[in-house]
Amino acid sequence: MTIGRSENMRRIRSENTVPELVVRKHLRALGHTGYRLHRKDLPGKPDIVFVGKRKAILVHGCFWHGHECKEGIRKPRSNQEYWARKIEGNRLRDESHIAELCRMGGRY
């Protein structure tokens, strides 16, 4: 039995994703502790924030954020116009959030 589009999209998480957990594991292994997760009061709700150092890590999925890698350049087979607009909107929003974080005095 194949799962439908809605069921597939419902399974995609926005917090505590596998890539995010891997980054956090490596940070702990390197001795970096004292970070906060998913700060809703900051632009873009960064995944990992070192408050005292004014640094944040945004863990973005390659497909969803249109990265220039193998996964990021992959194009959906259906509803291509919708997905092109959606991914470009994500990229523009990401740029805006990073610029706002920098204006707030952080390094990202």
- Residue ranges of the domains in the chain? 5-103
What's the pLDDT score for residue 5?
67
Model pLDDT for residues 76-90, shown as the tens digit of each residue = 888 999 999 999 999
Domain 5-103: CATH class, spelled out = alpha beta
Instruction: Please report which confidence band the pLDDT of residue 75 belongs to, taking 50, 70 and 90 as the band edges.
Output: confident
SS3 of 49, please?
strand
Is the sign of the CA dihedral 13, 18, 20, 24 positive or negative? positive
Structure-block tokens of residue 29: 């292994």
Model pLDDT for residues 2-53, shown as the tens digit of each residue = 677 677 667 676 788 889 999 999 999 999 999 999 999 999 999 999 999 9
SS3 of 63, please?
coil
What ranges in 32-79 are assigned the alpha helix state H? none
Instruction: Please report which confidence band the pLDDT of residue 93 belongs to, taking 50, 70 and 90 as the band edges.
Output: very high
For the chain, first and last CA: distance in Å? 43
Answer whether residue 59 shows pLDDT above 60: yes
* Cα 24–chain centre separation: 14
